[in-house]
Structure formats: C-alpha cells, structure tokens
Structure 1
Amino acid sequence: MDKELSAISSIGVIAGYLGITAFPVIYHVLKELNLLNSDVGRFALSTALIGDTIGMGSILAFEAERQGQIRTENAVWFMLSAIVLVTLLLSCVRPAMLWINSKTPEGKPVDQSFIVAILLGIFMMGFITDMFGIAIVNGPLWLGLVVPDGPGLGATMVHRSKTFMNEFLMPFSFILVGQYVDFFALGASEWKSLKPLFFMVLTGYLAKFFVTWMAALYWRMPFRDGLTFSLIMSLRGQVELILFVHLMDKKVINVPSFTLLVLMTIVLTATFTPLVSIIYDPTRPYILNQRRNIQHNPQGVELRIVLCIFDTENMNGLLHLLDRTNPTSTTTVSVSSLRLIQLAGRATPLFFDHAKQEVPPIYQWTHTINVLASFQHIRREFMKIQFFTAVAPKQSMFQNICELALEQEASLIILPFMNRGFYQHGTRRTSNSQVLNHAPCSIAILVDKCIVAAVGNSTRHSRNRFAVLFLGGADAREALVYADRMVENQDVSLTVIRFLSYNNVGDNEREKKLDDGIVTWFWVKNETNTRVVYREVVVRNGEETIGAIHDMNDGDYDLLIVGRKRGINPAILTGLSAWSESDELGIIGDYVSSKDFDGTASVLVVQQQVLRG
C-alpha cells in the first residue's frame, strides 16, 4: 500500500466513504425510481441524512488530523476556521435568508437581486473553504443547508439553478472525473500495490450491505423491505466521485487507485440500482383481498371517505357531493380530508396529521379547513372530518392517497378531475390515473362543470336532479349503490337508465346476472319512491348509446353518475373508443363531461375496488 494511503487519516477517509451513503446520491436514485414517498424511501433518506451529518464531522476530523501531521497548530486553525464559518452561516446568513422569505409576498417571485447575490455567494463559499484547507465542496453545501426550504426562496433557487446545474455544470464535473481515469495506468500497475485498496473497498461494501440488512431484520423490517433498504444504502454516485477527486488533489491516492475506485463504484451502482426496482414494489401494501367499497359496506356501519383536495377551485362541488352522500344517524360518514401540495424547494416529502402535528405556515390551508369545519358543524354528529396535509412530488402523490385510505380503512376515495399531468419515463400520467391503478378501495372522480348549489340550499331547483347511466359491470353497480344512498335525501330525485345490448349480443353471463341482481334490489327498494325513475334502453352499438344519452338529456340535470369501464359490454360501445380523450374517466364518462355534451351537469365517474390479492 502507498505510504500516503496507509496513513491513519487516509484510511479514516476511505472508511468514512465506505460506511456513509450520501443523501444527494440516495435522493436522485429514489426520485428516478419514484420511491421518494415510499416507506423504504423515506427511511433511507432519514438514515442517509443522519449518516451524512456524522460523516461530515468525521471527515472534518480526519482532515484536521492530516493538517496536524505537519504542525499541530495547523489542525487547531483548521477546526477554528470551520467553526467560525459555520457560526457565521447560522448567525448571519440564515437570518438574512429568512428575512428575504418574509419580505416576498405569497405567490410572488423572489427579487432577482437576492437570487444573484446567493448564486455569487456559492462561489465565495467555495473560495473561502478552499482557502481554509477545507474541501471546496463543503462551502456551497453548507450555504445550501441554511437556505429556507419549501415555497419561496428554496423553490426559486431550485427553479433558477436546476437547468444550469444539471445541463452544464454536472457534465463538466464528470469530464473532470474522466480526465483522471486511466485504464492503461491501472493495467500497468502491480497488483500487489492495488490489492490492499481493492480488498479494503470490497470488504467495506460487503460488510455494509450485510450489516445493514441484518440490522433491518433485527428491528423486524419485512424481509423484502430490509433487502431493498440495504441495497439502497449501498449505492454510490456523484458525491463519491467528487471525494475521489479531492483525494487525488490531496495526493492520498494515485491515478491507478483512482481508476480502481471509480470502476468499483460504477459496477456496484449499475448492479444494485436495477435490483431495487425489481425487488421492491411500493404499491404492494395496497393489494387487498378484502372488500372495501360502497356496495359491500354493511348497513348501519360508518362510511369512510378520503377526500382529496389539490386546490380550492373544486371545493364547492366537493362539498356539495359530500352533502348529497347523505350522512344520517343510521349511516354516519367519516371524512379524511387530504390536502395535496407539490413538493418544491426541499428534497424529502412531508405528511401531517393536523390532530397530532403542527403544520408549518407555508403549508397551511386555514380557509379551506374553516369551510369544512363549518360544514361539519351543520351536519353535527352525523359527519366527522379529519384533516391531513401531504407535500410530495406529483409522481408519488398517489402513494399518500392510497396509504391514507388503507390506514383509515376507507371505502371510497373522492378525487377532483385534474387534467394537468406529468411525464414519467416518456409516458404522460396523472395522479388520478395512478390512484385508479393502485387504490385499495373504490374511487369516485368528480368533474365539476358548473357552480353547483350551496350546501343545504339549491338556487336552481327545489331539489337536485341526478341521473345514473347504467351500462353494466362492477363500476356501474358501485355507481348505482352510491346513487341509492344519495336518493335517501329528500332533496334528490334520481333517474336510472339501464343500457341493454340488442339480443344480448356480447353479454357476459356472470356480469349480466350480477347486474340483474343489483338492479332488482334497487328497484324493489325504491319502487314506491316517486322521486325515482327507472328506464331501460336497448342499443346495438356505440352510436345508438350516444343517441339514447342525448335523448334523455334535457339540460336540467345537476349530476350524471356513471361507472368507469370495468365490465361494460363492448358491443354497446362499438366505435366510440377512438373518440375518447381521457382514459381515467372511461369512454362514456369522458363524453358526458366534454364540451360537446349539452348542459351544465357535473359528472361523477365511479370505479369499484379492484381486488388484487
């Protein structure tokens, strides 16, 4: 082993590199695999953050020891310089950042001069730390840590610097690493000079992997989750490459050793990253084999609903829908209101239970909470509302929704229709479509096409006119049962139109029997109810189905309720699939919610729970 590498300080730095997983590395891998909001992802981020804090202190101590090898006073001045710099950041720079945040009006961009000053401060911090003998990367890192997270300054800094960093600076940093890599020098080196470093690094990798896995199993983490956690904590990335460059600058390692470390890092990460995505499925906990839907919710048992709020635009429609869900003394309703906020200006997702945690001011939604609390007061003991806030990336918001539905044992998730999507691996997705694919219960998507009547008072009619377009299948049956609950309210009149295939062409016998059973149950229950109308229409194809829907539409309905798509006889939809724009609403739901359909009726698209266990 080289003399420089065999020094205690050098071995300490290598040991620190082997034992610590850098937070920025874990964050970017988890973001790419869409695991930031998963249980294992959150645990890995927290562990990496703790490890980075300890590791940063350890590396500073070893750097000080290395400085002290020349003169003892050098180590003292090194530590004093680091302490003074950190104190300056906390006592002066951090308050200045908070002042900038407080002076910026909500929803307005941060003044450009402040952004420029902070970006210049990054270069200044790099210069100062390098002058003090501290690794140059520490200065910008420490400055970034004192920037307030969340919307405002943190989000603005990310937005302004992200493209420049990722598209310009990062490629140059990898070019810098590539300049030091020399496979010819590696091949020309004697194996005995590289063998100690190779086995030290290999032993470190294996020891960390198995010790982390054993520790996870000891604390009774599930086998698969523990294995995934161990794989994640073993990953390496750009931070380690920068550390190797720093070790080269300090002449701790030579070119062959540098090339060996880079090669081992690439092999490890290239092997472990795909294994994580293969072994771990964050949606596995949502797979249930027990029924959680409205149809099988026992009579007299509380109906539990998760109400998702992305913004305040649809609050009036959502409140009206909750009111028409008809909470009574015999059929009480428990609502978990979840406010979803896009993650910006910080790395880790957040989740708040308002009954147990205080929500930071930047994530509060007091006005909406007051509206829901007033609504709860009107319904008194028949409805209970709990409040939650989730701050997460768009790609993983569905995990917060599904986890809350799972924990609350909800039978229904209510989502507003949001046509704003995102691209993941080249495919356009929406949060609603992800919930539809993974939810542990039934889902209802509300397309609010009009300003509906205020809660408890209708300005359009003496009562609300609802209609169910029953095209058959599990989703249609769930929609009919939900509508049956609504029509128990004396202010609701309901028209049910059942579409049947001519000569039973294309019918699935099992689905047909289930449809007959639920329709018979509904009609027997409401036969004497003058507010309920039931009709059947026989159609041959999709064109006749659309025609029948047009014939029943008099432009005076308040709400159209339709099953999404599961179990519908394809014969009655023939020729319509090419015209559908939104798969999450289904073919008929997409049509009646489009601008081509006359009237101002809102649309409720229902999907019954899909049993996946």
Structure 2
Amino acid sequence: MVSHILADLKLLYTGLGRVTLTTAMISDFYNWVMFAMLVPFAINGGSAIYGVLSTIVYVLFCFAVIRPYLVEIIVRKTNQNEWDNSGLFIVVMGAYASAAVTDLLGTHPVVGALVYGIMIPRGKFTHLLIEKSEDFGVVYLAPLFFGSCGIRLRAIYVIKTQGLGLVLFILLLSILPKILSTVIATQFYGMPVLDGVSIGLLMNTKGILPILMLNSAWDKQILSVESFSILTIAVLVMTMMVPLIINAIYKPRKLYKQNKLKTLQNLKAEAELRILACVHNPRQATGMINILEACHTTKLPPLRVFALQLVELTGHTASLFVSHVNQLNQLQSGGEQALTKAQQDLESITNIFQTYAAINENSKVDTIAAASSYSTIHEDIYNLSQEKQANLILLPYHKQSNIEGILETSNTAFQEINRNVMRDAPCTVGIFVDRGLASLFKVNLRVVMVYIGGPDDREALAVAWRLSKHQGVQLSVVRILMFGEAAEIDVMSHVENHGLLSVVVDSEKQKELDDEYVSAFRLKAVSNEDSIKYSEKEVRSRDDIPEVLHEVDEIGYDLYILGQGGGRNCLILTELMKWTDCPELGVIGDIVASNNFGSSSSLLIIQQYGCGGMVFENSNTTQKPNEVVPSNIEDGPDFVKVEWHQ
C-alpha cells in the first residue's frame, strides 16, 4: 500500500520514498512476526507455545530442505519454457498446502502461505505467475474478501451507540503517536520536520495485514462489534486521507524553480558535471556511453553519471517491481535465477556502464531503474534529476538506425516521454540521435556545432566547448549569420503575450548575449586550441539554410551538437518549425535527422534549463487559411530544393 501511494505521488524514487518504503518493509516484517507469534496465544492460551515452536521448526524445514529442490525445479522449467497452466496450478496449490500445515500447527494459515511465497525464486517465473493469477486475485478474490469485511462493519450503529466524539478520539489516538514518534526519530537524524511528518503519515497507511488481524480477532471473538468497527474505520480513514494530505503538504516539484542558473553555460570549470542518462534498452546504453566518453576528460573534474533504465509497467504490482529490479546484487549469478526481460536489460545496462566506469577510473556511475507507466514516467525523471542534482538529462531519440543507416521508429511512446521531459525539466535536457557514433577509444571524434543564436544554442556551445577539452575530439563551430529576409523578427507569435516593444528588445538582448558568448569562446578556446576551428556562414533567405547545412555535412562529421532553438524569435525558423516531424529536435535538428537529408552523423540536441520549457503543438494538422506551405513534403520538408507558394 505504501509503495502504491509513493508511486502515485511520484515519490518512490526520492530520498523520502526510499526511507519510507524501507521503514514500511521493516515494520511490516516485525508485524508479520508478531502476528505469527501472538495469534496462537490469543486462540489457544498457554498451550500455544507448542504451536509456535512447531511453526518455527516447519519454517526452518521449508528453507533448509524444501526450498533448494523447489528453486531447482522452478528455475530449470522456467529456463526451458516448460510451464503450462496445469504446472502453474500445482505451484499455486502449494500455497494452500503450506497454509493448511500452519493452520494444523495452531498458527494462522496466512503464515504458511507467506512462507511458501518467500521460498519461490524471484525473477521470470514470478513475473509469469503474477501475470496468470493477478487478474483472478485482484478482480475476483480481493473484492470478495473486502466485501465480507464491509458486511461485518457496523459504522452507523457504532456512531449512534458510542458517539462520534469517541470514534474521532480513537482515530486521533491511532494516528498521532506514530506521527510524533516518527518526527522525533527523524529530527534525531537531522531530517526536516516536513519529511518526518510525511513519513509518519505514510506509516499510518494500512494494507492487508491489519484487515487480516481484525478479521481473525472477529472470528475468534476477541474483538467486540464496536471495537472491530472502530478499528476498521480507522484503517479506512487513514489509508484514504494520507495520500491527499501528502499531496497537499509535500510537493517536490516546487523545488524545480529554485535555481535558475543551473545550466552548463554557467557551470564553473572546477564543478562536477552530473548527468542523468535515461535509456530503455542496452542498445541505447551503448550509444550513451560514447557521449559520456567525450564528456570525460582529465582536464576537468570527475564525471558523475546516473544511468536510469525506464521500464513501462501497467499491472497492479508495478510499484513494487522497482524494489526487485533494483536489487540485482541480491540475485544469484550463473543462471540460477531466470530473469524477466526488464531485469535482463537492467543487468546488461549495468554491465555496460560498469565497464565504462572501470575504464574511466575518475568517473562514478550509479545504475537505477524507474518503473512506471509511460504517461507519467517523466515525473520520475524530474524527481531523480532533482534529487541527484543533475546538470544534464540525456534522453534517447525515439528512432534508431537500421543496417542501411536509415532512422526507423522503435517506439512512439519514447517521443512522448521526451516531449514531456522537455516541457518542465528541472535542468538542461539533451536528446541523442544515435547513428552509430564511434568510440573515442578507437578513433578521433569529429564534432560540429551549428550556432544560430538563442539560449539553447549558447548551452549547446557550452556542451561542445566541454567536449573539445577531450584530446580525441576535433571541434568545428559554424555560426550562421542572418541577414535580409532571414533576419526578420517573429513578432506575431509573441506580441500578444509580451508586446511589440518587449519582443524587439528581447531579440536585441539575445543578439548581444550571443555575440558576447561567441567572442569569449573564440578568445579562450579557438585561439588556444589547434583542435578547435571557427567559421561563419551567411544566410539571407530560407533557401540558404539547407544549402549551408549540406556544405557542412559534406565535410563528414561524426556528431552534430545543436540547440533546440528556443528564444530565437526568427520568422523563417518559426515558419519552418510548423512543418517539422519532430519539433523536439528543433528546425536544424529535424533537417539533419531527416532521412531525406542523407546525413550519417549522430546528433545531440540541447535545450537549456530556465527558459520556460518546450511547448509542443500539433504541427502536421489541417492547413489554416493563408498559411505558407511547402509544396513538396515527404518525410518532413524536402530541404534539398523547396519551392514555396501561398
């Protein structure tokens, strides 16, 4: 229950979430032990000691004798894909058999079922078992069980006979002690009061165990009707109210706006670069490694990398899966455990990044998994990047290169994740378009940065500047200067919100910042490094843009570093943006990434933090009246030669 609440509130991967989930697991463990020990005494009195001792002997027998054979059979049949419905049914019936044994020994049947469940090896088999049995348990059995609890509940009767004041008083006594004790304990360890209150509230959420205990006490006539009803009401009220209270008082997203200068452009040279590298599969991890290699150099402080595997989960057990998938160190090696696809991918991703960390001794790498639905997983990325104090979030492009070098869509959901992250990211965001970027350990990396202007381009130049400090990187910066028609300001798109004068002044201010930053780059980098080149290209119309890009691409670069394009206020770029297939790449990025353009270079698209985030619109929709439309569009605009008409 706690893990579900934390997952719904997007706190599962924060420091608060980890402390709360760990505390809840330890607390529940002791609750189960106390439940197994005390129930026999409540039922059988003094003779219960024999039942408790017999249960302990049975548990030891299960783990010492039965479990090795059970694990061997399950793992072997799972690796050979020999499971069918009858075999799974036999495994499930083992839980009933174990429950019957503990019932005969004098303890509660659920203790035997729990022991049997712990013996089953975690991994691919448990995933298969849950997939087969979850719907039956959640849709059929659970409603029957909780429905029977509701039939026993006499809420109105208790309120009438005992009074509402007594019920509320008992509710407060059930909630406040745990909150106060938690706040005192967290204060002792230096945690904020708000975190202590949140953990205390979450500790008040109840799952299946309290309901089992109350029903067992009802069956054995240990509790009266009034006691059972009041305690059940307390469980319901606490479990329903806690998520609402936590959502109201603890909102980590408020922290996102605290530091507007958290950009790579403003990052000091001696500061550590912290990167959150998000991947969906091992292939994307291999591509990310090449970018990280270029960011790591002996001239700068160590690189800190947090490799995050994004796992889509839709089942009822989704929130607990991350606790399993993040504990690969507890899984037995040598094929003794049959892993799920997500666990196999995480193991491969972990090995890839550990190999990178072993080669680059100054780099520190942590591997994490985020399991959530794709519609909300961007919030987990926000929380992790905020907690890890990341300067840069690296995201994989939703298309991957095939054998022929053509980009093909792998999963459209990846594109939506990238857009959601770019809308309100707490730091700078980079989208990596991988076309087989070579490793720096084998060849030199030829990098080009196409600079037009705006905060995203300044951030992209900062990234390229850092990469240029690597001895294996040859950097070329091509600045595109706008003149004539190309220099016209896009007034209409911003005049309603900012006013005509504000738009003009802001454009002039951006030009001053661009000139200042490029001048500093030429003075400090180009003049002192032979591996850095700088050139300028003039553009006077929209037709000149693809011509300039073709001239650049003919040289043959391994990697383009481009700004997404926010804050440029350029009329022709705004018009071209309406016809991009992937607006998250920006106009220039969409051109170079298009299969029609014919480039074989990888791309890194940069969006600077603090500019309000990216706003995406449905660009390829019905044509508006009097709208300028390119006449020949196939896979995005054909930028080799485009004829424009009204």
Taking structure 1 as the reference length, the TM-score comes to 0.76
Cα 1:262–1:316, aligned 2, differ >3 Å: closer, same or farther? closer
Q: What one-letter code is carried by the residue in structure 1 that aligns with 2:396?
A: P
The counterpart of 1:537, out of the listed 536, 539, 559, is 539
In structure 1, the partner of 2:133 is: 161
Q: Does 1:560 align with 2:555?
A: no
Q: What one-letter code is carried by the residue in structure 1 that aligns with 2:144?
A: F
In structure 2, the partner of 1:172 is: 144
The counterpart of 1:386, out of the listed 356, 364, 369, is 364
The counterpart of 2:323, out of the listed 335, 345, 349, is 349
In structure 2, the partner of 1:121 is: 94
Q: Deviations over 1:480-538 (max 9, x none)?
A: 12223445657625252436452344452332221221223334553796843322424
3-state DSSP class of the match of 1:468?
Answer: strand
CA apart distance, 1:232? 0.8
Cα 1:320–1:172, aligned 2, differ >3 Å: closer, same or farther? same
Q: Does 1:402 align with 2:385?
A: yes
Q: Does 1:446 align with 2:454?
A: no
The counterpart of 1:311, out of the listed 281, 286, 307, is 281
Q: Does 1:190 align with 2:174?
A: no
Q: How many residues align?
A: 558
In structure 1, the partner of 2:10 is: 34
Query: In structure 2, what is the Cα distance between the partners aligned to 1:169 and 1:428?
Result: 39
Q: What one-letter code is carried by the residue in structure 2 that aligns with 1:320?
A: N
Cα 1:405–1:593, aligned 2, differ >3 Å: closer, same or farther? farther
Cα 1:480–1:146, aligned 2, differ >3 Å: closer, same or farther? same
Query: In structure 2, what is the Cα distance between the partners aligned to 1:353 and 1:294?
Result: 33
CA apart distance, 1:94? 3.0
Query: In structure 1, what is the Cα distance between the partners aligned to 2:21 and 2:275?
Result: 31
Q: Deviations over 1:565-600 (max 9, x none)?
A: 432326344345555565654565455434454322
Q: Deviations over 1:214-272 (max 9, x none)?
A: 33234321021111111111223444334333332222335555444333333333322
Cα 1:210–1:303, aligned 2, differ >3 Å: closer, same or farther? closer
CA apart distance, 1:65? 2.2
Cα 1:316–1:429, aligned 2, differ >3 Å: closer, same or farther? closer
In structure 2, the partner of 1:147 is: 120
Query: In structure 1, what is the Cα distance between the partners aligned to 2:516 and 2:566?
Result: 17
Identity %: 25
Structure 2: runs of 5 or more not aligned: 334-338, 340-345, 400-409, 492-503, 613-646
Query: In structure 2, what is the Cα distance between the partners aligned to 1:263 and 1:345?
Result: 26
Query: In structure 1, what is the Cα distance between the partners aligned to 2:170 and 2:519?
Result: 74
Cα 1:60–1:484, aligned 2, differ >3 Å: closer, same or farther? closer
Cα 1:587–1:231, aligned 2, differ >3 Å: closer, same or farther? farther
Contact 2:448/2:477 (CA < 8 Å) preserved in 1? yes
CA apart distance, 1:451? 2.3
Q: Deviations over 1:308-357 (max 9, x none)?
A: 555331355334334444725x4465353636375989556389899xx9
Contact 1:555/1:600 (CA < 8 Å) preserved in 2? no
In structure 1, the partner of 2:28 is: 52
CA apart distance, 1:104? 6.3
Structure 1: runs of 5 or more not aligned: 1-24, 377-382
Taking structure 2 as the reference length, the TM-score comes to 0.72
Q: Does 1:67 align with 2:43?
A: yes
Q: Does 1:236 align with 2:227?
A: no
3-state DSSP class of the match of 2:238?
Answer: helix
Cα 1:197–1:373, aligned 2, differ >3 Å: closer, same or farther? closer
The counterpart of 2:69, out of the listed 67, 90, 96, is 96
More displaced 10-residue stretch of structure 1: 492-501 or 48-57? 492-501
Query: In structure 1, what is the Cα distance between the partners aligned to 2:489 and 2:322?
Result: 54
Contact 1:307/1:335 (CA < 8 Å) preserved in 2? no
CA apart distance, 1:82? 2.3
In structure 1, the partner of 2:627 is: none
In structure 1, the partner of 2:513 is: 514
Query: In structure 2, what is the Cα distance between the partners aligned to 1:222 and 1:119?
Result: 45
The counterpart of 2:487, out of the listed 471, 494, 502, is 502
More displaced 10-residue stretch of structure 1: 413-422 or 80-89? 413-422
Cα 1:115–1:582, aligned 2, differ >3 Å: closer, same or farther? farther
In structure 2, the partner of 1:430 is: 417
Q: Does 1:296 align with 2:279?
A: no
CA apart distance, 1:43? 1.4
Contact 1:304/1:333 (CA < 8 Å) preserved in 2? no
In structure 1, the partner of 2:447 is: 466
Cα 1:545–1:421, aligned 2, differ >3 Å: closer, same or farther? same
CA apart distance, 1:32? 2.2
Q: What one-letter code is carried by the residue in structure 2 that aligns with 1:522?
A: F
The counterpart of 1:43, out of the listed 16, 19, 25, is 19
Q: Does 1:252 align with 2:222?
A: yes
CA apart distance, 1:121? 1.6
3-state DSSP class of the match of 1:252?
Answer: coil
Contact 1:104/1:152 (CA < 8 Å) preserved in 2? no
Cα 1:208–1:124, aligned 2, differ >3 Å: closer, same or farther? same
Q: What one-letter code is carried by the residue in structure 2 that aligns with 1:569?
A: N
Cα 1:103–1:527, aligned 2, differ >3 Å: closer, same or farther? same
3-state DSSP class of the match of 1:469?
Answer: strand
3-state DSSP class of the match of 1:190?
Answer: helix
CA apart distance, 1:90? 1.9
Contact 1:30/1:41 (CA < 8 Å) preserved in 2? yes
In structure 1, the partner of 2:59 is: 86
In structure 1, the partner of 2:600 is: 600
Contact 2:489/2:570 (CA < 8 Å) preserved in 1? no
In structure 2, the partner of 1:569 is: 569
RMSD between superposed Cα atoms in Å: 4.2
Cα 1:563–1:210, aligned 2, differ >3 Å: closer, same or farther? same
CA apart distance, 1:45? 1.7
In structure 2, the partner of 1:280 is: 250
Q: Deviations over 1:538-573 (max 9, x none)?
A: 457xx9867865675549442222113432326344
Cα 1:572–1:369, aligned 2, differ >3 Å: closer, same or farther? same
**Matches for 1:318-333 after TM superposition, within 5 Å:** 318-325=288-295, 327-328=297-298, 330-331=299-300, 333=302
Query: In structure 1, what is the Cα distance between the partners aligned to 2:549 and 2:516?
Result: 24
3-state DSSP class of the match of 2:488?
Answer: helix
3-state DSSP class of the match of 2:282?
Answer: coil
CA apart distance, 1:115? 3.5
